[in-house]
Amino acid sequence: MKFTVKNEKPAAVKTGCVVLAIFEKRKLSAAAEQFDKTTRGLLTNLMRNGDMDGKSGQTLLIPDPAGAKCDRVLLVGCGKAGEFSDQDYRAAVAGAAGVLDRCGTTDAVSYLADVDVGDHGAYWKVRQLVEVTSGALYIPDAHKSKRNRPAKPLRRMGINAGGAKTKPAQQAITDGMAIAAGVELARTLGDLPPNICSPAYLASQARSLGRDYPKIRTSVMEEAGMRKLGMGALLSVSRGSRQPAKLISLQYSGGKRGDKPVVLVGKGVTFDSGGISIKPGAAMDEMKYDMCGAASVLGVVTACAELLLPINVVGIIPTVENMPDGIASKPGDIVTSMSGQTIEILNTDAEGRLILCDALTYAEKFDPEVVIDIATLTGAVIVALGSHPAGLLGNHKPLIHDLLKAGKNSGDRCWELPLWDDYQEQLDSNFADMANIGGKGAGTITAACFLSRFTRKFHWAHLDIAGVAWKSGKEKGATGRPVSLLVQYII
């Protein structure tokens, strides 16, 4: 998809489709009002006839509007004018994109960014429009033998953000397109089947980013290297798999030589069967998404490189497959992590923290400004927060504050849970320094408590994305979250 700034009046612009906002009840947005005047009341007449009254979710496509230069006009219901929230705006933009993609036009000009959304400026509205529109056009049909694509899909969109705002609108398009590309990469990888998307496949993807972008350097450590570093926790997870573990590092050098990097650590379990503590069969296919943290790291690093952001970013991806086998880890096994701390594995399905703890210790060598790990870590976060925000925990107030703010701004939200010392005793083990599970209650917090024992040397935050990284049911598919949140934080 290509986006440009378009400042022409709605009835004067030559395009396949003009997109206009309508509020309840039959209230025209400023651009719709202009369009209505030039077309001698076309829109007011339609509304008087009851074709549409502006309720949110409504769309109405009108062919060949007399008096205007466009081939079609698409009216988008936006609800009550004074109550148009960030979420409503995103829903209206997504609804419009769906209709446009199937109505036979390849180009459109949208005036949706010209309406008031809270107190957001043109930059925010245009960037959201670009991100949401791009996201709405994603179809995961790479493995369908017959692709069911629109004959004439939407390819170009002009955006009007109310005239004189050309500069911020232009920047918003640049940023939005880079973020959309990062989100799309994360979704594409997430949706791949686990027989294709293996640890080796993620490594090859990371290497290809290193080839595509001069400012990205990729290196991949094999199991022998990890053994040398003493990564006994990470290696214990991949023991049961025929697929060897990989430890991927991507260094994006957009900043000065000595600038401390933002380090992102992404959980890359390409399939989580649970191991010997095997999961029940229902919906087990969804455990192919257990690498969405890793995918988001690849997406964020891509967006940073697209935008040439003046900052250093390091992506670390521990990637493994968690499988049962004759030599797989067993409940009761004790392993030694790279930090020297020993871990009693009471449940082989709590594998994410085992690979992350060694990757977090490894992160020390990059002398980080902050470390953020991103992981589909616990089912418990879905119980606590559902699928709206990611769970956020960490050891540094300012970092938590910045992530909450970036989440709110990007629409890709997170919510803090308490990382109190009170929970730490749930990890006590009679035989090792700690157990890998915290027993009943507060599963997301005890998982973060476990990680906190490996992050004492730096500012750290943890995003538990098990609830937000993909959708289940009819709409099953990866979401690309939290790429947008993290790029916003880095910007």
Q: Tell me the C-alpha distance between 154 and 139, whole Å.
A: 13
Residue 249: is it exposed, middle or buried by C-beta count within 10 angstroms (0-12/13-18/19+)? buried
Read off φ and ψ for residue 430, nearest 5 degrees: -75, -15
One residue of 186, 305, 437, 442 binding ligand BES per CB under 6 A: 437
Catalytic residue ranges: 279, 353
Q: Minimum CB separation from ligand BES for residue 246, in Å?
A: 18
List the x/- string, 337-366, binding to Zn ion by CB under 5 A. Answer: ---------------x--------------
Q: Is 417 in the site for ligand BES (CB under 6 A)?
A: no
Instruction: Write the interaction track for ligand BES spanning residues 116-155; mark x where CB under 6 A is met and - where it is not.
Output: ----------------------------------------
Nearer to Zn ion, 177 or 357 (CB): 357
- Secondary structure of 374-428 as H, E, C letters: EECCCCHHHHHHCCCCEEEEECCHHHHHHHHHHHHHHCCCEEECCCCHHHHHHHC
Q: Is 54 in contact with 22 (CB distance < 8 Å)?
A: yes
Q: Which does 461 bind (CB under 5 to 8 A by kind): Mn ion, Zn ion, ligand BES, none?
A: none
Residue 290's Cβ-count burial label (10 Å; 0-12, 13-18, 19+) is buried
Side-chain-side CA neighbours of 381 within 13 Å: the count stands at 29
Does 404 engage in binding with ligand BES (CB under 6 A)?
A: no
Binding partner selected for residue 175 from Mn ion, ligand BES, Zn ion, none, CB under the kind-specific 5 to 8 Å limit:
none
Q: End-to-end distance of the chain based on CA atoms, in angstroms?
A: 23
CA distance 63 to 103: 10
- Give the residue carrying structure tokens 């245009």: 126
Q: Which does 437 bind (CB under 5 to 8 A by kind): ligand BES, Mn ion, Zn ion, none?
A: ligand BES
Which of 191, 272, 358, 373 lies at the binding interface for Zn ion (CB under 5 A)? 272
Contact characters 327-356, ligand BES, x per CB under 6 A:
--------------------x-xxxx----
Q: Please tell me the distance from the alpha carbon of residue 291 to that of residue 466, in angstroms, as a whole number.
A: 10
Residue numbers 267-326 binding ligand BES by CB under 6 A = 272, 290
Distance (Å, rounded) from C-alpha 297 to C-alpha 186? 8
State the binding string over 371-390 for ligand BES (x if CB under 6 A, else -): -----xxxxx----------
> Which residue ranges make up the site for Zn ion (CB under 5 A)?
269, 272, 290, 352
> Which residue ranges make up the site for Mn ion (CB under 5 A)?
272, 349, 351
> Which residue ranges make up the site for ligand BES (CB under 6 A)?
272, 290, 347, 349-352, 376-380, 437, 443, 466
